[in-house]
Amino acid sequence: MTVVSFLDQGPVSEATGPSQSHHESVRLAQLAEELGYVRYWVAEHHGVANMAIAAPEIMIGHIANRTSTIRVGAGGIMLPNHTPLHVAEQFRTLETLHPGRIDLGIGRSTGTGDDPTKDALLRYPDAIERFAEHLTQLLAVGRGHGTGSPDSYGLRTASPSDAVLPEVFVLGSSVNSARFAGAAGLGYAFFCVNQRDERAVDALRSYRAAFVPAIPGARPRGVLALRVWVGDDQEHAEALAASERLAVLDYLAGTPKVLEPMDAALRRKLTAEQWAISQSLDMTSDLVGGVEPVRQRLASLLDRTGADEVIAISNIHDPAERRGCLRRLAEAAADLVAGSALV
């Protein structure tokens, strides 16, 4: 059973500018479909130098139009930036045009670390704190039933009125978000980046334990999101990872840059501040290696976490190298089965 998917953050590099990155995403999605990936999600970021996708709902429709079988979705829509009714209408429309192929991942952040950009994005100053309320409103209008509350969301159904809302996933990186997703009866994607994979075990176990079906027939669907770089061998994989890892340090140090070529990233010496930041980041959950070592790590993670699938994030400077990584990841995931569904 295929258990691998892909999350595209629209990497921007010295080789691929922001506009070209969008076209590369289409090409990569078509390859992912050819290789048998389950789903292809696109992220939402704003004002981030090395991530180009800011309008995932547009990219989803564009990619779905240029593929035929792979599921396409948001990983995710940052709800504090949007009105619940508009999101429900966008994704009902996408589901109408591409039935059975659309996913709606919902995030609680704004998709930026820049305060002026954050202020320009937020619908309300307290929109992040009101995430649960706004998600409830989205589900109410999206699923076509009132909330029982006197506000406008409790009285309306999203257009198209005869459409259905796609499968909804909560995106998170904590046990609390896992429990929230389970109690809401939604899918859950745990973002296991810069934290130990034991956190994913705890979160996905908590998600399944908390799961209460919100609609008839619903079952828990746990997704594990990881950074993955699969090379010809360990040395090649480490080189593939170098550009993204360095870009993260640049961003956290307040000097954001696009992805550098692999050889330049490997040669560059860290500043004292970057070195200190690097020592605080836990990258042990990253999957970096050749096909067989990555296969072994994937099998272990699926078994330990009980995840239904792994969704890979592979930001690489060279689009051709990124496509090669996608091919090798498909090889590593071949014949793997979903985890033990821990409860």
Asked whether 208 and 185 are in contact (CB, 8 A), the reply is no
Q: What percent of the chain has pLDDT over 70?
A: 95
Q: What's the CA gap between 155 and 145, in Å, rounded? A: 8
Q: Which domains does the chain have, with CATH numbers?
A: 4-241+283-333 (3.20.20.30)
The tokens describing 149, both together, are 């509350």
Per DSSP, the residues of 67-92 read: -SSSEEEEEEEEGGGS-HHHHHHHHH
74: nearest Cα among 101, 51, 41, 46: 41
Instruction: Compute how many other C-beta atoms are within 10 angstroms of the C-beta atom of residue 278.
Output: 16
Between CA 133 and CA 141, with CA 135 as vertex, the angle to 5 degrees is 105
Contact 72, 6 (CB under 8 A): no
The H or E element that residue 65 is part of is helix 56-65
Full-prediction pTM beyond 0.85?
yes
- Tell me if residue 232 falls in helix, strand or coil: coil
Write out pLDDT tens, residues 111-145.
998 889 998 898 889 999 999 999 999 999 998 85
* Amino acid 253: pLDDT: 94
The C-alpha angle 177, 145, 58, rounded to 5 degrees, equals 65
- Closest among 201, 231, 339 to 293, alpha carbons compared: 231
Q: Residue 108: pLDDT band by 50, 70, 90 thresholds?
A: very high
Burial 2-25 (b: 16+ CB within 10 A, else e): bbbbbbbbbbbbebbebeebbebb
Mean pLDDT of 243-252: 95
Q: Contact, 147 vs 137, CB < 8 A?
A: yes
- What is the per-residue pLDDT across 6-25, written as a single tens digit (0 to 9) for each? 999 999 998 899 999 999 99
Beta strands at 102-107 and 187-191: parallel, antiparallel or unpaired: unpaired
Pairing of strands 4-8, 287-289: unpaired
Distance from C-alpha of 72 to C-alpha of 99, rounded to nearest angstrom: 11
Give yes or no for residue 55 having a pLDDT over 90: yes
Reduce the DSSP state of residue 106 to 3 states and report it. strand
